[in-house]
Amino acid sequence: MKGEPSGKFFVTGLPRSRTAWMSAFLTTGETLCYHEPSCHIAKIEDISTFFDSTFYKHIGVSESSLGFFIEWILENIKPRTLIIERDIAEVKESMRQIGLPMDRFYFCELLQETLSQFRDHPLVKVVHFNSLVHKRVMQDVYWHLMPGCAFDEERWAQFNGMSIEGIPHAMLEKARKYADNLALLYADINGVLRELAQNDQQAA
């Protein structure tokens, strides 16, 4: 394991699509998955540092917002990638229930459109949010992202049905932080995202 470059993987999807759960489940003694590292970077190129390891057998990142950069990530980092699909109406209702302000997540439709363009990419596997409760689906996900790693049945039994999410207040603070940082990241994508970032800053 040590001395050789780690295998790389990437998990993304709409917000409230179990990326936190996935990052915890995919972190074991020989693997590591960072959750939402975008708040620590100022430009997308910096994400490469999170994949730079020779210690772990596989290393990955799990985050919704980085889905906007899926093309750059696939072309430059080339990770095995999982896209978790979820109905936008369910996402918005989930946000509403925990008190997250929807104006901070104006990008749901645009993110969905961006991710849909990479469904057939050879490194990408697509699963639906509702199917993640099935062991067979999670086995396929596990082996796609981290080939050569044995699926841990005991770990699955512990995690299945477990909800991993921060308390509402902490999530609200995190949402505000990401909104500010994403505005900086989005400035390098295209005119549409620049306009969205400017509108968000003006509203704040």
- If one compares 53 and 2, the residue with the highest pLDDT of the two is 53
Among the residue ranges 75-79, 143-147, 150-154, 199-203, the one predicted with the least confidence is 199-203
- Among the listed residues 25, 23, 123, the one whose alpha carbon sits nearest the alpha carbon of residue 76: 123
CA distance 107 to 32: 28
Q: 191-203 vs 168-186: helix axis angle to the nearest 10? A: 130
Residue with structure tokens 């704040």? 204
What is the reported pLDDT for 10? Answer: 98
Residue matched to tokens 């969905």: 112
- Contacts of residue 45, defined as CB under 8 A and 6 or more positions apart, other chains included, come to none
Q: How far apart are CA 88 and CA 178, in angstroms?
A: 20
Mean pLDDT of the chain: 82
Residue 172 has what pLDDT?
Answer: 41
- Look at residue 198 in the predicted model and tell me its pLDDT: 54
47-61, 79-93, 186-200: segment of lowest average pLDDT: 186-200
Distance CA 35, CA 14 (A): 14
Q: What is the pLDDT of residues 90-113, one digit of tens each?
A: 888 887 787 766 665 567 888 999
Structure tokens at 92: 């918005």
pLDDT of residue 185: 52
Pull the structure tokens for residue 158: 């512990």
Q: What is the pLDDT of residues 141-159, one digit of tens each?
A: 999 999 999 998 988 988 8
Q: How much is the pTM?
A: 0.80
Best CA proximity match to 57, nearest among 22, 25, 33: 33
Q: Which two tokens stand for residue 165?
A: 């999410």
Phi-psi label, residue 148: left if phi above 0, alpha if psi -120 to 50, beta otherwise: left
**Closest to 151 measured CA to CA, from 164, 128, 162, 135:** 135
Q: Is 194 exposed, middle or buried (0-12, 13-18, 19+ CB in 10 A)?
A: middle
